[in-house]
Amino acid sequence: MEWEAVIGLEIHAQLATKSKIFSGAATAYGAEPNTQACAVDLGLPGVLPVLNREVVRMACMFGLAVDAEIGRRSVFARKNYFYPDLPKGYQISQYELPIVGKGKLIIELEDGTTKTIGVTRAHLEEDAGKSLHEDFHGMTGIDLNRAGTPLLEIVSEPDLRSAKEAVAYMKKIRSLVRYLEICDGNMQEGSFRCDANVSVRPKGESKFGTRAEIKNINSFRFVERAINFEIERQIDLLEGGGTVVQETRLYDSAKGETRSMRSKEEAMDYRYFPDPDLLPLHVDDAWLDEVRSSLPELPDAKKERFMFEYGLTAYDAAVLTSSRELADFYEAVEKSSGGETKLAANWVMGDFAAALNKDNLEIGACPVNAAMLGGLIQRIADNTISGKIAKQVFEAMWEGEGDADSIIEKKGLKQITDSGAIEQVIDEILAANPEQVKQYRAGKDKLLGFFVGQVMKATQGKANPGQLNELLKKKLNS
């Protein structure tokens, strides 16, 4: 039987605010345990939550960016359960009336087609603290620095049909929240993570199968592996005559498998009810218009513009707009190169991206800035250097040896475009290789490459390749 997977993601994006969602404590990552938790975060008696206005703005930005309805009246609710790192015994979240309603997002698939994925809702909530089981013999340590950190939980429709689609969707959301500068997207620190709801059904069937929820996956690679593992597991189960049970599962990245955490029967009753400490949140038109006008150009619009304005292919435009920094960098390079749109794209996506990758650097922290790369491209465009020499210049720039012009000057890499000078070298080479000249003239055309190589060797690669070819052919054929 042919099976079809049905996947929905719940993405938790940590909002990049300075202070927590309901208190004034800082949200910075990596501080000493319990140094960023105030009385409100500790859930001490009598303290009360006060909503951070900034999280509302950020949630609305996201809502507008996925074309969603913004909840004009949204309600914070308490999700009640006991856990040592949940100080109040409840998490403040949103339940029936979230701030962001139905929206949608377009993802690009590997075959170049696109697919629209529904966003069911996105709601605001506070994160819990951390339980530390190591370092405390027979006991558990609690770090409440993370307690009260603002999260936007983004819930997708079950529109995804493969692990690859799920990853594409998650990447797109990540790119979007980073464009909006509402989340740093740092998956290692847990600022961006997801739960995946996975089920399978016979292809053509319209009803959904029973789903399992895989909790807290924090890398794209793990999302793909966990979902694929889970799809296989469910298909094997069903083909073996078994049934899938509704449950929560954990992904073990070391073993590459998912395993059961708790079943539906053990599922907690969270006893949601509206939080009486927080009044319903009202968002008015004027404020929403303000937020709308503050939105940056979004990835899809930018990609369209890159194709139209710079004549780039859909693929190049998509790569260059995958992050705001990369897109901004490309535009700066293109400008300082004097409008060399194609060359700029090739260099940014090629040697530059490879160098970043190799040294594991961010654009802002790397040794070659946009003006330097643009300057290099100008020299290729005006024939001062060849593409091949340019690679050498780029490497020197990356090593901090200065800008393109000074490197070309210092190393004497300027291309030889004086035909007299090139002809002189050609004459010398032809004179030194009479046997090869004879063979060539006898019809062994392939030897042209040999002569080109010899001339380049003699000029240390500086002869203008086009001129060289032309002159060489003229000489040999005369």
| Binding interface with another protein (CB under 8 A) | 39, 42-51, 78, 80, 82, 84, 87-90, 142, 269, 271-273, 276-279
The rounded distance, in Å, linking the Cα atoms of 324 and 341 is 18
Instruction: Report phi then psi at 214, rounded to 5.
Output: -100, 125
**DSSP alpha helix (H) spans, 267-323:** 285-293, 299-310, 314-320
Tokens describing residue 57: 């703005």
Q: Which is nearer to another protein, 85 or 304 (CB)?
A: 85
State in angstroms the smallest separation of the CB of 109 from another protein. Answer: 39
In angstroms, the Cα distances linking 328 to 32, 320, 371, 471 are 36, 9, 12, 42
Q: At closest approach, how far in Å is the CB of 247 from another protein?
A: 18
User: Please, which residue, 31 or 279, has the CB nearer to another protein?
Assistant: 279
Nearer to another protein, 140 or 313 (CB): 140
Beta strand segments in 138-272, E: 141-143, 150-156, 192-202, 212-217, 247-252, 257-263
Query: What whole-number distance in Å separates Cα of residue 305 and Cα of residue 317?
Result: 9
Residue among 87 and 98 whose Cβ is closer to another protein: 87
424 CB contacts (<8 Å, ≥6 apart)? none
Q: How far is the CB of 245 from another protein (least distance, A)?
A: 19
Which residue is associated with the tokens 């491209």?
Answer: 377
The label of the residue with tokens 């009360």 reads 48
Q: Which is nearer to another protein, 2 or 32 (CB)?
A: 32
Nearest to 320 by CA among 338, 340, 336, 305: 305
Give the integer Cα–Cα distance in Å for 264 and 381.
Answer: 65
CB closer to another protein out of 47 and 132: 47
Task: Give the whole-angstrom CA distance, residue 14 versus residue 182.
Answer: 8
Identity of the residue, 9 or 147, whose beta carbon is nearer to another protein in the bound complex: 147
Mark out the alpha helices in 19-162 (DSSP H runs). Answer: 39-42, 53-65
Neighbours of 108 (CB within 10 A): 18
Burial of residue 259, with CB atoms counted within 10 A of its CB: 0-12 exposed, 13-18 middle, 19 or more buried: exposed
Q: How far is the CB of 335 from another protein (least distance, A)?
A: 47
Q: Which residues contact 332 (CB under 8 A, 6 or more apart)?
A: 370, 371, 374
CB of 47 to another protein, least distance (A): 7
Nearest approach in angstroms of CB 85 to another protein is 9
What is the nearest approach in angstroms of another protein to the Cβ of residue 90? 6
Least separation, in Å, of the C-beta of 138 and another protein? 11
* Residue number with CB closer to another protein (92 or 231): 92
Runs of H (alpha helix) within 196-269: 220-239
Q: Residue 266 CB, nearest distance to another protein (Å)? A: 14
Q: Closer to another protein at the Cβ: 80 or 406?
A: 80
